[in-house]
Structure 1
Amino acid sequence: MIGLLSTTFGVSVASALLPLISVELFAVGLVLKEPDIPWWVLALVIATGQIGGKLLHFYAARGNIRLPAFMRREKEEKPATKGRWKSWLEQFRENCRTRPVWAGTVLLISAAASLPPFAAVAIIAGWAKVPVSTFLITGFIGRFARFGVLAAAPAAMAAWL
């Protein structure tokens, strides 16, 4: 069981870093293959791996992790225009600063439902300087809830039918 949980942790970190990897599909397959793994253990391992991976995105957006040159944006010489997207990001940053409960709620909903996508919200939260504790707590709770429901669903469906 330790080997399966280690693999699950690795897949969850990888899926947090590379959106093409689906930890949801992996988790459902694992639960169907190994129904003896407690749902909460699986949810705990996946949530921990997901938050660990997303934390790298969070810190990179914050500027604490230096990205390789090919991933960095070149400095523009022309004055930047303030488009709709940039205005929205600035408003989001201001809301995060002045309304911490709002920021935590957005993070929690995104982590649990992935609407808006948690990968994007993790990056924007880092850029908006959301406190690390808020990101970790709300992100972990949301991810644990998401994957707890996913891990418990096959057994619940089997018992219900």
Structure 2
Amino acid sequence: MLATIGLLSTTFGVSVASALIPVISVEVFAIGVVLNGTDVPWWLLAAVIAAGQIGGKLLHFYAARGAIKLPGLFLSKDGSEKQPGRWRRWLEKFRTNCQRRPLWTAVVMLLSAALSVPPYAAVAVIAGWAKVSLSMFLITGFVGRFVRFGALAIAPAVIATWI
């Protein structure tokens, strides 16, 4: 029992860390846990990883909204208003689309969370900037991440039954 709690706590910590630091791979960690032969059910492992991932991505989401003050390294040096460039115009158009078409927004966020296409790290930032509702971000992100890591957790067992 204590070993299971320790494993789940470590899994949660690695999940949060991987959401914040791109070079940490929670996928590799999860595969290692599953191949090591754990007694933790696949759905519990997937839920813990999904919760950790969403917890980490919430920092990106809130930073993009301006709710978290970023260090000076990430801010404009002179603070002056710049002319909107192509990237800024695209982001403004994306923000408008998110507000006008919430179903489209939910589908894009769900697919990104599950498949990482487009990359979920970028979508988390853009969703915060575009003022996507917190509930939509949490629900689509958790469901998508649960599907992603649930599939990853059961993959070795499925492959073993085929061989």
- Quickly name the TM-score band, shorter chain normalised: over 0.9
**Per-residue deviation, 1:71:** 2.6
- Give me the whole-angstrom Cα distance separating, in 1, the residues matched to 2:10 and 2:154: 19
Aligned partner (choices 32, 36, 40) of residue 33 of structure 1: 36
What's 1:46 paired with?
A: 49
Which residue in 2 is equivalent to 1:14? 17
Gaps of 5+ in 1: none
- The offset of 1:81, in angstroms, is 3.0
Between the aligned partners of 2:152 and 2:14, the Cα distance in structure 1 is: 16
Matched, 1:107 2:103: no
Q: 1:85 aligns with which of 75, 78, 87?
A: 87
The corresponding residue for 1:139 is 141
Could you list the per-position Cα deviations for residues 45-98 of structure 1 after superposition, in whole angstroms to 9, with x for gaps in the alignment?
Answer: 000000000001000100111112223233453x52332211211111000111
1:60 maps onto 2:63 in alignment: yes
Let me know the Cα RMSD of the aligned residues. Answer: 1.2
* TM-score under structure 1 length normalisation: 0.95
Matched, 1:125 2:152: no
TM-score in terms of structure 2 length: 0.94
Q: Distance in 1 between matches of 2:9 and 2:92?
A: 40
Gaps (5+ residues) in structure 2?
none
What is the letter of the counterpart of residue 10 of structure 1?
G
